[in-house]
Amino acid sequence: MLTATHLTKVFAGDVRAVRDVSFTLDPGRIMALVGESGSGKSTLLALLAGQADADTGNIRLDGVRVPGPSEVLVAGHPQIRLVPQEYQLMPNISVRENIAYALRYFEKGYRDFRVNELLRLCRLTDVQGRLPRQVSGGEKQRTAIARAVANKPDDGQSTVLLLDEPFSHLDLPNRLIVRDLLFDLVQHDKMACLLVTHDATDALSIADSLGVLRQGKLIQLDTPANVYRYPTTAYAARMTGAATILKAKHLPVLNLPGGDNPEALVCLRPEQIKLSEAGVGGTVRAVFFRGSYSEVDVEVSRYVCLRLLTTRTDLRAGQSVSVDVAAESLWWLKGG
Ligand SMILES: Nc1ncnc2c1ncn2[C@@H]1O[C@H](COP(=O)(O)OP(=O)(O)OP(=O)(O)O)[C@@H](O)[C@H]1O
C-alpha cells in the first residue's frame, strides 16, 4: 500500500504546484486524479515516483518512507513505476528489446518467457520487432506499460503503477484497449495504480476512486459515481462530465424552489433533465449527436440553458420543447 501524507511542492516564484495532498493507493485498485492543465498532476506523479523532492509531507510504501532524489544516487524507487506522457522508449531498439531491458538482470529463459507473456497481454506480438518510431501511438503506450510492469516484485512486495495522461494521445479503440489492459494488469498482478488525466471520461469507467485536483489541492476524493453525482464544487462537476450549473435565483424559472441564498450554485447532470409535455417551455439551441443518444441544449430563459440527453432524433435548433427537472435531483454545490 502506498500512502501520501500532506505532500506539498512549491516551485521558485511561489508556484504552489502541490498543496497538502494526502491519499492511499491500495493493491488491486485504480485511483484516477482529474484536473485542468496546471493543476499539479505531473508534479504530484514526480513526487510519488521519487523523481522530485517534496517540500513537506512524505510518501510511504508498505510503511517504508520513499526517499526523494536528493537522498539517493539514482532517482526513483524500484517498486514504483511511472509511465510518462511521452512514453520515453529507447528509440534505437525494438519494442521487444525495450520491454526486455527492464528484465536485463534475469536469466534468459525467464526473460524470454516474461517478455512473450507481456507482448501477448499488451497485444504487441505482431510488432515486437519494430522500432518505436515504426509503431502507432497506442502500441508505444502499451510498450511503455509493458516495460513498466515487466519486473514483478517479490512475493509480499507492492508495486505501484503511475500513469501520466494514459489516454490523451489515443483514439477511441486504443483507449478501450489500454483501459482493459490496465484493468487486467491491476487485477492479475494486484498492483496499485494511479492515473492522472484532464479528461475524466475514461477514468470514470475504470477507477475505483476518483480525486479532483485544483490548483494543487485535492478538493474531492470519492468513488467515481459519488464525485459525478455529488460534486462539491462547480469545478469538480465540470471536470467529471457535462453539467448545467445554475444560480439558485434562477431556479423559479424551472418551477423549482430557489432556497435561501440566491447566489448559491446548483448542479444538474443531463440525465436529470427530461423532455416532457408537462414541463417548462424552452427553445432548442443546439443538438450534439453522440451515436446512441444526443446531447441537447435547451434555453429556458436568458440565464438558464439546460443540457439534457435524449434518444429522440427529431430535434432541431430553434424548435420549441418542454423540459422537466425534478426538485429532488438538484445538487447544491459548496462553491465555484
Ligand atoms: N519546474 C518547474 N518550475 C516552476 N514551476 C513549475 C515547474 N513545473 C511545473 N510548474 C508549475 O507548477 C504547476 C503545476 O504544473 P504541472 O505540470 O504539475 O501541472 P499539470 O496538471 O500536470 O499540467 P498539464 O496537464 O498541463 O501537464 C503549474 O503552474 C506549472 O507552471
Cα separation, 8 vs 122, in Å, equals 35
Give the Å distance between the CA of 320 and the centre of ligand 1: 46
Q: Which atom of ligand 1 is nearest to the CA of 216?
A: 14
Residues in the chain: 336
Residue of 9, 18, 42 best suited for mutating to test ligand 1, as the one with most atoms within 8 Å of CB: 42
Residue nearest to atom 3 of ligand 1 (CA): 11
Three-state DSSP class for residue 98: helix
Residue nearest to atom 11 of ligand 1 (CA): 17
154 pLDDT above the threshold of 80: no
109 pLDDT above the threshold of 80: yes
Closest listed residue to residue 255, CA positions, set 301, 320, 297: 301
292 pLDDT above the threshold of 80: yes
Superfamily covering domain 244-332: Nucleic acid-binding proteins (2.40.50.140)
pLDDT value for 173: 85
Ligand 1 pocket residue status of 4, Cβ below 6 Å? no
Give the Å distance between the CA of 28 and the centre of ligand 1: 29
Instruction: Using alpha carbons only, give the angle 217, 218, 223 rounded to the nearest 5 degrees.
Output: 165
Ligand 1 pocket residue status of 39, Cβ below 6 Å? yes
Ligand 1 pocket residue status of 40, Cβ below 6 Å? yes
pLDDT value for 205: 86
Label residue 73 by pLDDT band (50, 70, 90). Answer: confident
Ligand 1 pocket residue status of 14, Cβ below 6 Å? no
Q: Which residues contact 107 (CB under 8 A, 6 or more apart)?
A: none
Residue nearest to atom 1 of ligand 1 (CA): 11
Instruction: Using alpha carbons only, give the angle 198, 204, 206 rounded to the nearest 5 degrees.
Output: 110
pTM over 0.80, yes/no: yes
pLDDT value for 258: 81
Residue nearest to atom 14 of ligand 1 (CA): 40
Strand arrangement, sheet containing 331-332:
244-247, 265-268, 331-332
Mean pLDDT of 265-292: 93
Contact 267, 321 (CB under 8 A): no
* ipTM of the shown complex: 0.97
Give the Å distance between the CA of 165 and the centre of ligand 1: 14
Closest listed residue to residue 259, CA positions, set 270, 267, 250: 250
Q: How many CB atoms sit inside 10 A of residue 80's CB?
A: 24
Does 244-332 match 2-233 at the fold level? no
Q: Which residues pair with 33 in a beta bridge?
A: 196, 211
pLDDT value for 295: 94
Ligand 1 pocket residue status of 33, Cβ below 6 Å? no
Give the Å distance between the CA of 231 and the centre of ligand 1: 24
Q: Which residues pair with 335 in a beta bridge?
A: 233
Ligand 1 pocket residue status of 38, Cβ below 6 Å? yes
Give the Å distance between the CA of 277 and the centre of ligand 1: 49
Residue of 16, 36, 41, 53 best suited for mutating to test ligand 1, as the one with most atoms within 8 Å of CB: 41
Q: Enumerate the domain spans of the chain.
A: 2-233, 244-332
Residue nearest to atom 4 of ligand 1 (CA): 11
Mean pLDDT of 306-311: 95
Mean pLDDT of 56-79: 91
User: At 237, which helix (H) or strand (E)?
Assistant: helix 234-239
- The CATH fold assigned to 2-233 is Rossmann fold (3.40.50)
What's the distance, Cα to Cα, between the start and end of the chain in Å?
34
C-alpha cell at 284: 432548442
- In the DSSP assignment, the letter for residue 180 is H
Residue nearest to atom 30 of ligand 1 (CA): 38
